[in-house]
Amino acid sequence: MRYLFLISLFFCSAAFAQAPQPDLVTLSPELELRIKKLETELRCLVCQNQTLADSPAGLAGDLRRELRSLMAAGKSDDDIKGFLQARYGDFVLYNPPIKSSNFLLWFGPFMLLGLGAIGCVLLVKKRGRHLVSAAVPTEGTAENIAAKQLLLETKE
Amino acid sequence: MNEPAIVKTDAQRRWAFALPLAVFAVVLGFLFKGLFLDPRKLPSVLIGKPVPEFVLPQVADRSQTFSRAQMLGKVWIVNVWGSWCAACRIEHPLFIELAKQKTVPILGFNWKDQQADALGWLARYGNPYDVSVSDLDGKIAIDFGVYGAPETFIIDKAGVIAYKFVGPISADVLEREMLPLIKTLQAK
């Protein structure tokens, strides 16, 4: 019974999603390849974790149609990306350009990694020093002298 | 040479404690802020840019058009709606109220909607729009950077986009953000 419910839910969602619209402009096979690649590099603004190529949303269909007509008009990939960027911002690009506003996002993890590495090296160095100074006691307390002797004996 | 083995000074101890705590606090701060961000609300790149050129048929009479040029000289609200858009119904009473005050003209941007559906919706829920234009194929909506209805823009007298709100507006947003801005823009 539960499965039946889940299966019916599945078909429900299929009913909500709009079918991709028929594309108006036909392109040469070469342009067809280019646009397919381009669509995978662009984000659908409605289903935000889907590319324009994958999204069944109505808006994605409209955008695909626009991109096709731009491509048919001889625009370059960068022109087309610029067209979308001017309207929807860098968010449409799956590979956002490096800017001062997202510098931390690009390099923050590496900076943290670097800090961690420095900390690690310092810690290990320090420990090494402690071990050395602990292993060779120089103070003249009775315990230290006894320990020193013990060490020397074991070394021999 | 003679430092006491393994024993840390107070200062070292303090650093060993405070540094990771500080890093943790910074990360926590970012994560906490993230809780209140809505990933669906994108910062609009069109704010401060001129309204895109458009000439669109009117919903009431498709033989009549309405264009960008006709908006100049007045402050406008542009409200993107569709009869298929459930969330548009939530904010609609606010626009009905606003229209009664006659403080600012409202342009209804009917997005990807059939004329009969749009007219039926307006007859049923009321028509707060001074003009409604119809963008059947969604081409002009792309120029406006629209990605989900409802969306609401405020346009200044020079035809520049001054404000954008994505999603149904609330009485709070209208009172605290939109109306004061409209007043300032109208005084200019």
Quickly list DSSP for B36-80. T--TT-PPPTTTTSBPPP-EEEBSS-TTSEEEGGGGTTS-EEEEE
Burial profile A21-47: b = 16 or more Cβ within 10 angstroms, e = fewer: eeeeeebeeebeebbeebbeebbbbbb
Structure tokens at A88: 């929807």
Does the pLDDT at position A76 exceed 70? yes
Contact (Cβ atoms closer than 8 angstroms) between residue A65 and residue A24: yes
Q: Which of B3, B113, B147, B161 should be substituted to probe chain A, the one whose Cβ sees the most A Cβ atoms within 10 Å?
A: B147
Q: Which residues pair with A79 in a beta bridge?
A: none
Please tell me if residue B101 touches chain A, with a CB cutoff of 8 Å.
no
Please tell me if residue B147 touches chain A, with a CB cutoff of 8 Å.
yes
Rounded to a whole number of angstroms, the distance between the first and last alpha carbons of chain B is 75
- Nearest residue in A to B143, CA atom: A87
Structure tokens at A81: 């990306």
The answer for B 19-58 residues in CB contact with A (under 8 A) is 23, 39-40, 42-46
Please tell me the distance from the alpha carbon of residue B125 to that of residue B132, in angstroms, as a whole number: 14
Structure tokens at B148: 């989900």
Contact (Cβ atoms closer than 8 angstroms) between residue A55 and residue A39: no
Q: Which residues pair with B66 in a beta bridge?
A: B56
Contact (Cβ atoms closer than 8 angstroms) between residue B79 and residue B141: no
Please tell me the distance in Å from A46's CA to the nearest CA on chain B. 6
Q: Which of A45, A63, A87, A102 should be substituted to probe chain B, the one whose Cβ sees the most B Cβ atoms within 10 Å?
A: A87
Please tell me if residue B73 touches chain A, with a CB cutoff of 8 Å.
no
Does the pLDDT at position A127 exceed 60? yes
Structure-model confidence comparison of residues A94 and B118, the more confident one: B118
Contact B5 A58 (CB under 8 A): no
Of the ranges A91-105, B3-17, B89-103, which one carries the lowest mean pLDDT score?
B3-17
Contact A59 B46 (CB under 8 A): no
Chains A, B: CB pairs < 8 Å: 54
What single-letter amino acid sits at B7? V
Contact A88 B145 (CB under 8 A): yes
Please tell me the distance from the alpha carbon of residue B185 to that of residue B157, in angstroms, as a whole number: 7
Contact B147 A46 (CB under 8 A): yes
Please tell me the distance in Å from A127's CA to the nearest CA on chain B. 8
Please tell me the distance from the alpha carbon of residue A86 to that of residue A71, in angstroms, as a whole number: 17
Closest CB to A88: pick one of B5, B112, B147.
B147
> What rounded mean pLDDT belongs to chain A?
79
Contact B112 A45 (CB under 8 A): no
What pLDDT, on the 0 to 100 scale, is given for residue B14? 82
Does the pLDDT at position A20 exceed 50? no
Instruction: Kindly report, residue by residue over B59-71, the tens digit of the pLDDT.
Output: 999 999 999 999 9
Q: How confident is the model at residue A10 (pLDDT cuts 50, 70, 90)?
A: low
DSSP code string of B71-117? GTTS-EEEEEE-TT-HHHHHHHHHHHHHHHHTSS-EEEEEES--HHH
List chain A residues with CB under 8 Å of B82: none
Contact B139 A91 (CB under 8 A): no
Q: What percent of chain B has pLDDT over 70?
A: 94
Does the pLDDT at position B6 exceed 70? no
Please tell me the distance from the alpha carbon of residue A31 to that of residue A24, in angstroms, as a whole number: 14
Predicted ipTM of the assembly: 0.75
Please tell me the distance in Å from B98's CA to the nearest CA on chain A. 29
Reading phi first (left if > 0) and then psi (alpha if -120 to 50, else beta), residue B109 is in beta
Contact A89 B44 (CB under 8 A): yes
Structure-model confidence comparison of residues B54 and A104, the more confident one: B54
Q: How confident is the model at residue A150 (pLDDT cuts 50, 70, 90)?
A: confident
Residue A49: alpha-carbon gap to chain centroid: 12
Instruction: Please give the C-alpha separations between residue A149 and each of A131, B3, B29, in angstroms, as whole numbers.
Output: 17, 21, 55
What single-letter amino acid sits at B37? L
